[in-house]
Amino acid sequence: MYAGRLAAELIRRTGAHMFGMGGEKMRQAGVELVAQSSDVAVSGISEVWSKLPELRRTMARLEHEAEARKPQIAILTDFPSFHVRLASKLQRQTIRCVCFIAPQFWAWRPWRAKLIARRFIKALCIFPFEEDFYREAGVAVSFIGHPLVDIVRPTMPRTDFLAQQRLDSSRPIVALLPGSRMNELQHNLPAILDGCGQIARQKPGCQFVLALASGFTATLDPVPGSSAKTLRMQTGAIGHSFPMPTSIDLRVAAGMTYDVVAAASAAVVASGTATVETALLGTPMVVVYRVARLTELIVRTFVTTKYVAMPNLIAGRAVVPELLQQECTGPRIAGEIVQLLDSQAAREEMQRGLAEVRVKLGPGGAINRAAEIITGLL
């Protein structure tokens, strides 16, 4: 999403031809895709092993295309475990690299910041506290603000969205954002759905809306010989089914995440960018996340921050509850959401904290600032 917006602005300013790895938003922006980001999308450490062959093939393909085309500059967006290595290979071809969206190395293994100084001529960061961190590591860095400040807006009035989804405005609505990768869904969604079943029992009439991530389809399939259903999630050739509590009233909304969150009374959100989007919309939330046990053991060795959820990291205090690993259970999720639904004071306190986070994310115009800096390097 960020790279697509930046590419469109750079093409508008310079007329440059751009190629690389990305998804549909980059293709729509005019980038020639020589690799698909969905082929290598994975989170976690132990989880990445199954993707290693495809990661190696994609790395080789990008290296070969760069050598054949000899671009003036390479803009490497996010995905640091891949892009820091790619930058090293491009350096050998004397291609200058810009790090767009500086990695969150301040959160774990902070000594890797020096890799950014060695392999990138410029780094662009989106959180205000990152600038000092990277500058102290010798990185040529600029804070551009967060691109989401300009992006996160509902596409329609709340009343129109409720009518389209056949939702009752007099009943609570809980938004579900379980992640944007299949392995995240496999870890997060069972606990979320279990929590929804418990919320429905405590709050009869509560409505649930699953915000479908880009590239996913979802179907509710009946279980033969039973009144139960399963939720079938599919992305490309990869699919997985999740048992559904029989008591929940679930809608699925594709490509409407901001409308879903803006309309919701509260949200269950997987840790990541979605928590920043939810904060910008001011919707009270509980943040959840689970990873494989081996990943957890490795990460606990290196994590240096007190919090995991971005709203808490940005605010420097606990604004939203974090339910991670063993704490990410149906009963805990239900308890936090029911409290938000029942207590106006709790909702208002969290909304004040989220308003503080929005201010700290900086003014709009991040993509324009990034494009101006990169154009100056051409």
Q: What is the C-alpha separation between 226 and 349, in angstroms, rounded?
A: 43
Q: Does residue 260 sit in helix, strand or coil?
A: helix
Task: Tell me phi and psi for residue 205, to 5 degrees.
Answer: 95, -5
User: What average pLDDT does range 37-42 have in this prediction?
Assistant: 78
Q: Measured between alpha carbons, how far is 374 from 300 in angstroms, rounded to an integer?
A: 36
pLDDT of residue 45: 64
Task: Please state, rounded to an integer, the average pLDDT across all residues of the chain.
Answer: 92
With cut-offs at 50, 70 and 90, classify the pLDDT of residue 235.
confident
Share of the chain above pLDDT 90, in %: 73
* Whether the Cβ atoms of residue 242 and residue 190 lie closer than 8 Å to each other: yes
Q: Which two tokens stand for residue 374?
A: 């990169």
Residue 44 has pLDDT above 80, yes or no: no
So what's the pLDDT on residue 66? 97
DSSP annotation string for 98-149: EEES---TTTB-GGGHHHHHHH-SEEEESSTTHHHHHHHTT--EEE---THH
Domains (range + CATH), the chain:
2-146+363-377 (3.40.50.2000), 158-360 (3.40.50.2000)
pLDDT tens digit sequence for 85-110: 999 999 999 999 999 999 988 877 78
CB-count burial class (<10 Å; 0-12, 13-18, 19+) for 108? middle
The two tokens of residue 283 are 């919707």
Q: Which residues of 175-213 are buried (b: 16+ CB within 10 A; e: fewer)?
A: bbbbbbbbbbbbbbbbbbbbbbbbbbeebeebbbbbbbb
Q: What is the pLDDT of residues 257-284, one digit of tens each?
A: 999 999 999 999 999 999 999 999 999 9
Report the predicted TM-score, pTM, of the whole model to 2 decimal places.
0.82
Q: Which of these ranges, 5-14, 24-33, 220-229, has the smallest mean pLDDT?
A: 220-229
Residue pair 117/139 in contact by the 8 Å Cβ criterion: yes
Indicate the pairing of strand 96-100 with strand 122-125: parallel
Span 121-154, pLDDT tens digits: 999 999 888 999 999 999 999 999 999 999 999 9
Q: In the β-sheet with 73-77, what is the strand arrangement from edge to edge?
A: 73-77, 96-100, 122-125, 141-143
For residue 249 the two structure tokens come to 């009233």
- CA 5/CA 97 separation, integer angstroms: 18
